[in-house]
Amino acid sequence: MEIKILGTGCPKCKTLEKATQDMVSELGIEATITKEEDIMKIMEYGIMRTPGLVIGGKVALSGRLPSSDELKKILTT
C-alpha cells in the first residue's frame, strides 16, 4: 500500500503523519508512507486544505485530522 501525507509542514500535517505511521504499525499493514510538501504537487490532488491523506493515488481525507477509529477504517477498507 502506498500512502502519501500532503502538507507543507504545519502541526496538523505532522500529527497526521505520525498518527498514520502509528496506525500502520499497529495494524501490521505493509505500507510505504511518504510526505509531499510541494504545494504545486499537493494542488494536483485537487485539495484546497491540508492535511491530506492519499492512499493508492486517491484522496482519502483532506482538511482535517481523523479520529483513531476513522483512520483505522480508512486504512483497512
pTM of the model: 0.92
Q: List pLDDT tens digits, range 12-64.
A: 999 999 999 999 999 999 999 999 999 999 999 999 899 999 999 999 999 99
Range of the domain at 68: 2-76
Count the residues in the chain. 77
Classify burial at 53, counting beta carbons within 10 Å of its beta carbon; exposed 0-12, middle 13-18, buried 19 or more.
buried
- Within 8 A by CB and 6+ apart from 57, the residues are 2
> What is the CATH classification number for the domain harbouring 32?
3.40.30.10
Three-class secondary structure of residue 14 per DSSP: helix
Q: Residue 9 has what pLDDT? A: 87
Q: How many domains does the chain have?
A: 1
